[in-house]
Every structure is written in structure tokens, then in C-alpha cells.
């Protein structure tokens, strides 16, 4: 089937980025959230990011204007029900995601494809709670969405071929590359990335190195563009902890045990850049390590 209209649930850093790339690729986008302030900030951010692309010659002013005109916002979740494709990009908690799909089900068209941008939660389990497990997939974008080229496509046990092929075509139209992953905890990227971040936190916790020395070691010694603790702050320490808990619970292997220091930072509300404090303090002109 051909996708023309897209509904996106959640106007946070992932949702607004997904709305950006879909609108720029010519899709009609409706973005919904429980907060009008979040919706307003998302639209303003999309506008700024598109303007940056115009200034760098990545897109034209006309294409930017057309993309912004394709984006609508609503506080009413059920208004996105008639969309051809729905992408859930809410917080990484299974109960929240289930509640969203429960509310949407009575308002969907028969052909509507449901997807989740979850970075770790079982697609098969999410799909089984809906009326269309064959039309349900994991659609995992990387952050920041307008820049990162990869999209993980995750089939649940019941996902049919037509749904998979349709989303493959969508990824191609977005100008991105799809990686197919099996439905196991954290899929591919986070199955590899999060234990590395968690090990970096253990290295800090055990006093092997400071925040600065750990990040510099990986940037200069492994040629990573960003150190693991800096990256954790960018992702959000609450998200990192949630994914480690999914890995630990789902695979029952002690190597996925979240570092107690990661848990402590989350308990303190030091979640990284979004709260101005994490492994770095972002309240001044330049980030300062907190340990």
C-alpha cells in the first residue's frame, strides 16, 4: 500500500525529528502530544532545524516552506487515527505505549499500519495487544533523526510481508537506510551500544578513570565522535537505564546489570542534557564533569 498520511505520537526529541524528515519527504504529518507547550516547541525546533538545512544548502527555502505547511498538531490523540501510518514515539515505558495503542484502536482505518519507535521493548508483545499484529512493526529511528541515516525495522512474530515491504519503501523515500533486526531485547544498535555505555559508567563507578579520561580515551583511542558518558547525557540517562533494565530482564544475563551509579544519577534527576546535569554539568558556558 502507499503511505500518504502519517500520525506521530509524542513531540519530544524523537517525535519532532521524525515529523521533520517525513514532512520534508512529502508526507502529510499530524503530530500529537499531551502538552501544547511541547507541540509549540517541537514546531519551532523543526522550523529552526530546517532553516539550518537551508543555510547549508541541504534543502531549498521552497522545500522548507512546503514541509512546514504539511505539519499539523493536535492535543487530541484520536485525530491521528485515520492516518495511513502511525508512529508511536512516547516515553520508553511499555504501559504508556500500550495505553496509547488502546486509545487509538477504535479510531483506526482498516489499512492503518501501527509502529513503535521503541529502542528496546518487545514488538511482538506490543503488537499482541492490538487488533492488527500483522500490521505492527518496530520503526526505530536514531537521534538526531534528521542527521542519522539508519532506521531499524523490527518485525514481530506476526508481522506480514506487505507491512514490512511498505515500511522499507518509506525508509527509501526518506533517504535513509534500513537495517532489519529480529525482535529480541534492544534489537541491534542498543544491544551493542548500551552495554558499552553501562561499562563506561562501571569504569567511572570503580574509579578506573574520571569522566574526562574515559570520554577522551574512547574519542582518541577508538575514534568515537563522542565519548560514552557524553553520549549517555545526550541520549538521556533515564533512557539508558530503561534499556539496560529491558536487556537485564529480557535476557537474564548478569552482564546486562545496570551500574548502580547510573541508577543513582537517575534517582537524583540528573538525566543529562535535558535536565542540565548528568555526567556533565551543562548550566555554564561549557560542560563540566560532575565526577
- Residue ranges for the known binding site are 10-15, 33, 92, 97, 119, 143, 274
Catalytic residue flag (residue 16) = no
Packing angle of the helix pair 260-267, 237-251 (nearest 10 deg)? 130
Catalytic residue among 20, 140, 198, 230: 140
Catalytic residue among 5, 38, 122, 152: 152
Grid-cell match 526505530, residue found: 140
Catalytic residue among 49, 119, 120, 198: 119
Catalytic residue flag (residue 119) = yes
Catalytic residue flag (residue 190) = yes
Catalytic residue flag (residue 152) = yes
Distance CA 108, CA 251 (A): 34
Binding site residues for NAD(+), as ranges? 10-15, 33, 92, 97, 119, 143, 274
Catalytic residue among 16, 117, 122, 190: 190
Distance CA 180, CA 247 (A): 19
The catalytic residue positions are 119, 140, 152, 190
Amino acid at each position: 500500500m502507499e503511505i500518504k498520511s502519517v500520525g506521530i505520537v509524542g513531540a519530544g526529541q524523537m517525535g519532532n525529528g521524525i515529523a521533520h524528515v517525513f514532512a520534508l519527504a512529502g508526507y502529510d504529518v499530524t503530530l500529537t502530544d499531551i502538552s501544547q507547550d511541547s507541540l509549540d516547541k517541537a514546531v519551532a525546533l523543526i522550523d529552526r532545524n530546517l532553516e539550518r538545512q537551508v543555510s547549508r544548502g541541504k534543502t531549498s527555502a521552497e522545500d522548507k516552506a512546503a514541509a512546514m505547511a504539511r505539519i499539523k498538531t493536535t492535543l487530541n490523540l484520536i485525530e491521528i487515527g485515520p492516518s495511513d501510518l502511525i508512529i508511536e514515539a512516547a516515553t520508553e515505558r511499555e504501559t504508556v505505549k500500550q495505553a496509547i495503542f488502546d486509545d487509538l484502536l477504535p479510531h483506526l482505518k482498516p489499512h492503518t499500519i501501527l509502529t513503535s519507535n521503541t529502542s528496546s521493548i518487545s514488538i511482538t508483545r506490543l503488537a499482541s495487544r492490538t487488533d492488527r499484529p500483522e500490521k505492527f512493526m518496530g520503526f526505530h529511528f536514531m537521534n538526531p533523526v534528521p542527521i542519522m541515516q539508519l532506521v531499524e525495522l523490527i518485525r514481530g512474530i506476526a508481522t506480514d510481508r506487505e507491512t514490512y515491504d511498505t515500511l522499507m519503501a518509506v525508509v527509501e523515500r526518506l533517504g535513509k537506510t534500513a537495517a532489519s533486526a529480529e525482535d529480541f531485547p534492544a534489537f541491534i544498535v542498543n544491544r551493542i551500544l548500551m552495554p558499552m555505555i553501562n561499562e563506561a559508567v562501571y569504569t567511572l563507578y570503580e574509579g578506573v578513570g574520571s569522566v574526562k579520561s574515559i570520554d577522551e580515551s574512547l574519542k582518541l583511542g577508538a575514534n568515537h565522535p563522542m565519548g560514552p558518558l557524553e553520549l549517555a547525557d545526550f541520549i538521556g540517562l533515564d533512557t539508558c537505564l530503561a534499556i539496560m533494565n529491558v536487556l537485564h530482564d529480557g535476557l537474564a544475563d548478569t552482564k546486562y546489570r545496570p551500574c548502580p551509579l547510573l541508577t543513582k544519577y537517575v534517582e537524583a534527576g540528573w538525566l543529562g542534557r535535558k535536565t542540565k546535569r548528568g555526567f556533565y554539568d551543562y548550566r555554564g558556558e561549557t560542560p563540566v564533569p560532575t565526577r
